[in-house]
Amino acid sequence: MNVNLEIIFDYYNQKLFNNELPKIPVKFSDDIDCAGICHCDFFMKKMHPKLNLLQNYYVPNTLLIEISSKYKDNYQRIEAILLHEMTHAWFYSYDKPKIGHGKKFRKKIRKLSAKAGFKIPYRYIEEMA
């Protein structure tokens, strides 16, 4: 199966994220040991005014999404994994850079799943195996 990840990314960026995500390179990888990953570089930028803590911010144009090559032949999983990673990218760009899979992440995934019409996994171990 020949899958163009950039086209899928652009489609869902428009449909589910209102084109809020920057253009992010997306590729298949044989080198990751999970279903997918969203990479970016972080730097310490400023002190949080109320918490008196340094906040992490991502370096623009360093985002990269990789999807495990073992899913190349499963279009439904590609979509689900890509949307999961796009959600991480959205948080890196607009909310909390290191939010993980916590309550805010799960809430965003539920909303996106409802708009997409299929379940986007919070995590891959339980839901994609």
**CATH number where 108 lies:** 3.30.2010
Question: 6-32 as b/e, with b when 16 or more CB fall inside 10 Å?
Answer: eebbeebbeebbeeebeebebebeeee
pLDDT of residue 86: 95
**Length of the chain, please?**
129
> Would you call 80 exposed, middle or buried from its count of C-beta atoms within 10 A (0-12, 13-18, 19+)?
buried
**Domain encompassing residue 88:** 5-127
Residue 6 has pLDDT above 90, yes or no: yes
pLDDT tens digits, 56-88: 666 667 789 999 999 999 999 999 999 999 999
Provide the number of structural domains found in the chain: 1
